[in-house]
Amino acid sequence: MKINDKNLAAFATSGNQVDKEGYLMKKGEGNKSFAKRWFILKGNLLFYFEKKSDREPIGVIILEGSTIELAESEMEEHFCFKVVFPSRSYILSAESHEVMEQWMKSLACASYDYVKLMAAELQRQLNELSKPQKLDSENTAFGGTLYQHFQSLETDNSSEASSSHRHVPTPPPRNRSIRTGEKKTFDSLHKEFGAKILRDQEARWALSSDNQLSKKTTQVQLSVLKQTSLIDL
């Protein structure tokens, strides 16, 4: 498209925000021949000048909605590529294959849609990177909470154990009949404990004998009472 806007021309010639610049051959729309033009890429605007020293561009290509493709029909003679729109195409030619690839890459990345897609992709990657950090911080906080909880449980258990340990009474010492340093033979032990057992048995026998004697006495007394009562009758 042709331009006459002074503001746009001033923006084209200003030295700010120049993404790429250089000479390219541009195929004309009417005569189909190639003409050498100086191109300056600023954002999504591709300005072209008749000469590098010109103060105003002779045209501009707004790259929104375009695709960058190889111009296969023109590849035999030139390193050609094209800026394709639904209504028309701009065919450009570079001096080498390397320069052609550089221009094609720069033009393909110049549109606002591409920048928007790149920003969305970068945001997605940033979100993916921030997820593990968030999980790690949450796990760290959760682990710290668990650690404090178990520490408090251990403190409570230790205090309870120490308090219960303090309140447990000490069992009294056992009464040992045999002193630790004293040694006794089997005969002495047999005599000592055997005599005690015999005494206990004799006491039980005596008690049982007394009980039997008292029973017999009671029976005799009852029989005597019965006979006395019969005589009185």
Can you give the pLDDT of all 233 residues of the chain as single tens digits?
Answer: 555 577 777 888 787 788 999 999 999 877 778 899 999 999 899 999 999 988 889 999 999 989 999 987 765 567 899 999 999 899 999 999 999 999 999 999 988 888 888 888 888 888 888 876 655 565 666 566 666 665 666 666 555 555 545 555 556 565 554 454 555 666 666 666 666 666 776 677 676 666 666 666 666 565 655 555 544 44
Q: Look at residue 231 in the predicted model and tell me its pLDDT.
A: 45
**93 neighbors 27 (Cβ within 8 angstroms):** yes
Cα separations in angstroms, 86 against 67, 68, 138, 164, 228: 10, 12, 52, 90, 154
223 vs 230: CA distance, rounded Å: 11
Q: Look at residue 221 in the predicted model and tell me its pLDDT.
A: 60
Q: Look at residue 106 in the predicted model and tell me its pLDDT.
A: 93
Q: Look at residue 230 in the predicted model and tell me its pLDDT.
A: 47
Q: Look at residue 155 in the predicted model and tell me its pLDDT.
A: 64
**39 neighbors 102 (Cβ within 8 angstroms):** no
Show Cβ contacts of residue 84 under 8 Å, excluding neighbours closer than 6 positions.
66, 67, 68, 69
Question: Given strand 79-84, what is the order of strands in its sheet?
Answer: 59-62, 45-49, 34-42, 20-27, 89-94, 79-84, 67-70
Nearest to 20 by CA among 129, 99, 91, 137: 99
Nearest to 82 by CA among 90, 72, 74: 90
The structure's pTM equals 0.52
H-assigned helices in 48-175 = 97-108, 112-167
